[in-house]
Structure 1
Amino acid sequence: MPLFWRIFLLNALVLIAATALLLGPVTVSTPVLLTEAAVLTVGLAAMLVANALLLRVGLAPLQRLTRAMTTIDLLRPGQRPAVGGQGEVAELITTFNTMVDRLEEERATSSARVLSAQEAERRRVAQELHDEVGQTLTAVLLELERVAGQAPPGLREEVRQVQETTRAGLDEVRRIARRLRPGVLDELGLASALKSLATDFGGPGLSVRHRLDADLPPLGREAELVLYRVAQEGLTNVARHARARHAEIALRRAGPGVELCVRDDGHGTGDAAEGAGIRGMRERALLVGAGLVLGPGPGGGTEVRLIVPGPAPLPDPDRNGRS
C-alpha cells in the first residue's frame, strides 16, 4: 500500500474511533470532568504514537536514501542503498540505484576516452622532446666539444662547464620523455618498467626498492599501463609530499590477478583531502575494474594498494550443451 494511503487510513481509523467513543459511552461535560480529560489525553497520545511509529517505519528507507545521495562517490562503485519499504519508497530507491549505475557506466566511458587522449598527447610530447629538443641539445654538445678542443686554455674550462650543464639538461629532457611515454613498458614489459621507475625516483634523500614476483599472470596492455601509472603517481606523491626516506614497490600475484603496493615511511596523509593525483588513480583503476585502497601503512606512512582482477574465465562448452 502506498505511504500516503497508509498514513491517511491510520489517521482516519483513529479519528473514527474517537468520534464513535464521543458519540457513545464517552461524553464531554462542561466543565470537563477529570475522567473525560484522561480519556481524551490517552486517545490523543495513542494517535500521536501511532502516527510517529508509522512515519518512522515508512520514512526510514528514505533516510537511508538521503544518506546515500549525500555520500555517493562515482569513483567508488558498488555503494548502493538497500531497497526497502513499499510502494513509492521502494520504487524511488530502485530508480536511484539504476540512475547511479548509468552514471557510473557513463563516467567510466568518458574517463576512458579522456585518459586515452591524455596518453596519446603524452606520447606526442615525448616524441617531440626526444626528436626535437633532444637532437638539438645533442648537436649543441657536439659543437661545444669541437669548440672546447680549439679554445685557449683560459676559456676551455668555462666551455667544459657549459658542456656539463647542457649534458645535464639533455638527461633531464630524456628523463621527462621517459615519464611521459614509458617506452621500456612497451619494449621490456611491466617488471622492467617498474624497476626503472624505482631507479628514477631513488636518490640521496629517498631510497626506493622493488619486490616483484616472477610468476605474474599475463595482463593486457591497458592493465599494465594502469599499474605503471598508479605506481608512478604513488612515487610522485611520496617524493613531493611524504618527506619519506624509504619507499617500496611490490607487485605480487593475487589469485588470477595481481596486486600492486606502493608504501613509504613518511608522515602519512592525515586529514588532507584527496587531490587530483589520487582521483586520477581511482579513475584509472575503474578502467580495468580494479580496486584501489589508500590508507596508512602497517609501519606508518602511506600505503597504496591496487588489485587488478584476472581475465574472466572462458565459458565451458560442455555446460552449453555442446560436445
Structure 2
Amino acid sequence: MSLFWRIFLINAAVLTAATVLVLLGPVTVSTPFVLTEALILSGGLAVMLVANALLLRVGLAPLQRLTRAMTTIDLLRPGPRPAVTGHAGIAALISTFNAMLDRLEADRAASNARALSAQENERRRIAQELHDEIGQTLTAVLLQISRVADNAPPDLRAELHQVQETTRDSLDEIRRIARRLRPGVLEELGLIAALRSLFAEISHHSGLQVRRDFAPDLPALTEEVELVLYRVAQEGLTNVARHAAASRVDITLIPHRDGVRLRIRDNGRGIDGQPEGAGIRGMRERALLIGAHLTIDPGPDGGTEVTLDVPDPAGLA
C-alpha cells in the first residue's frame, strides 16, 4: 500500500469514527445550534485533529529519520545505516536508500583505489627521475666545481666553494624530496624502519621532539596496509610540523583488539573546529581502502590526536 493511501485511510478512519459517534450518540445538532452542542462538536474535532496528528507522526517517523540520515551522511565516514522500519512504501524507500549507499561507497572505494594507485605510481616515477636525472646531473656539477675550484685563483676559490656547498644542499634537498615521494626504506626494510627514518627527517627539519612507541609484537601486515600506515603517519606529522605550532609529538603503533592502532598526538594548538583540508581527506580515503577507521579529536592535554584503527591485519595479510 502506497504512502498516499495509508495517510488517506488513516484520516478517513478517524473522520468516519467521529461521524458515527455524532450520528449515533445522544447529542443532536439543533437549528440553530445551541452552545452545548457547539462545545461538544468542537471537542470532538479537537480530539480528531490530535489523533490524526499522532497517527501521522508515528507513521511518518521513519521518513524523518531517513531525512536526517540524508542530510548528515558522509561517504568518507561510513556509519550505521538507517533502520528499515515502517510499512510498505516507507520500508522500501529506506531499503533502496541503504542499497544506494552501499553502491556509492563501493564505487567510491574502487575509484579511490585507482586514483591512489595512480598517485603512488606517479610519485615513484617522479622520485626515480629526481634521483636518476637531476641527482646525477647535480653530482656531476659538484665534481666539475670541485675540479675548477682546485685550479682556480685564490680570490675565486672561496666563491666556488660556496657555490659547491649550495649545490650540495640542493642535491640533499632533492634526495629528501625523492625519499618522501617514494619510501624506498619501506619496500626494502619494512614499516618500522621507514617510520623511524621519517621521524628522524621530520625532527631534523622542523625541530619537533618526536617520541615513538612501537610494540615488538605487531602482527604481519600486507604491503598495502603498511603503505597506508606510512602515508597516514607522514601526513599527520607534516600537518603537525606545518600547522600545529607544537613542540612535541608522540607516535604509537601497537596491537589493538583484533588489529593494530596508529596514534599521533601533539601538544599544539588543536584543530579549533577548522574545516578539514585535502590532506585529512586523503588520510580518510586511504583508511577506507583497507577498511580502517580514522578519527581526529582534541588530545587529552590539548593539541590534536589522530588515531587509525586497522582491523584484523592478519586476515588482510
Shorter-chain TM band = over 0.9
Task: Report what 2:111 is aligned to.
Answer: 110
Q: Aligned to 1:78, what secondary structure does the other structure show?
A: coil
1:76 match: 77
Q: Distance in 2 between matches of 1:108 and 1:143?
A: 51
- Select between 6-15 and 134-143 the one with higher mean Cα deviation: 6-15
Where structure 1 has 5 or more consecutive residues not aligned to the other structure, the ranges are 315-323
Contact 2:258–2:312 (8 Å) recurs in 1? yes
Structure 2 counterpart of 1:261: 263
Deviations 1:77-105 (A, max 9, x none): 23311122111111111111111011111
Structure 2 residue aligned with 1:277: 279
Deviations 1:123-182 (A, max 9, x none): 000000000110011001001111110111111111111111000000000000000000
Q: Is the 8 A contact 2:252 2:262 kept in 1?
A: yes
The aligned residue for residue 14 of structure 1 is 14
Q: Give the superposition deviation at 1:23.
A: 4.3
Match of 1:4 in 2: 4
**Cα distance between partner residues in 1 of 2:217 and 2:19:** 81
Cα distance in 2 for partners of 1:10, 1:288 equals: 49
Report the counterpart of residue 146 of structure 1 in structure 2: 147
Q: Which amino acid aligns with 1:130?
A: H
Q: Is the 8 A contact 1:219 1:310 kept in 2?
A: no
Distance 1:299 1:245 in 2: 14
2:90 is the alignment partner of 1:89: yes
TM-score, normalization by structure 1: 0.93
Please give the alpha-carbon distance, in whole angstroms, between the structure 2 residues aligned to 1:66 and 1:21: 38
Deviations along 1:183-241, one digit per CA (max 9) or x if unpaired, are 00001100000000001110363222322112111100000000000000000100110
Contact 1:245 1:266 in 2 (8 A): yes
Q: 1:207 aligns with which of 206, 209, 213?
A: 209
After TM superposition, the runs of 4+ consecutive aligned structure 1 residues lying more than 6 A away are none
- For the residues of structure 1 that align with 2:309 and 2:38, how far apart are their CA atoms? 69
Separation in 1, partners of 2:252, 2:20: 77
Aligned-partner Cα distance in 2 for 1:246–1:165: 31
The sequence identity of aligned pairs, in percent, is 69
**1:174-189 mapped onto 2 (5 Å cutoff):** 174-189=175-190
- Over aligned residues, Cα RMSD in angstroms? 1.7
- Structure 1 residue 5: deviation in Å? 3.4
Aligned residue for 1:292? 294
1:248 to 250, 256, 266: 250
Tell me, yes or no, if the aligned pair for 1:217 and 1:256 is still in contact at 8 Å: no
Corresponding residue number in structure 2 for 1:321: none
Q: Which runs of 5+ in 2 are unaligned?
A: none
Give, in whole Å, the separation in 2 of the partners of 1:21 and 1:297.
65
Seen in structure 2, the aligned counterparts of structure 1 residues 292 and 21 have a Cα distance that, compared at 3 Å, is: closer
Aligned 1:151-230 pairs, distance under 5 A = 151-203=152-204, 205-230=207-232
Partner SS, residue 260 of structure 2 = strand
Shift of 1:245: 0.7
Letter in 2 for 1:155: L
C-alpha distance in 1 between matches for 2:261 and 2:240: 19
CA contact (8 A) 1:260 1:306 kept: yes
Contact 1:112 1:287 in 2 (8 A): yes
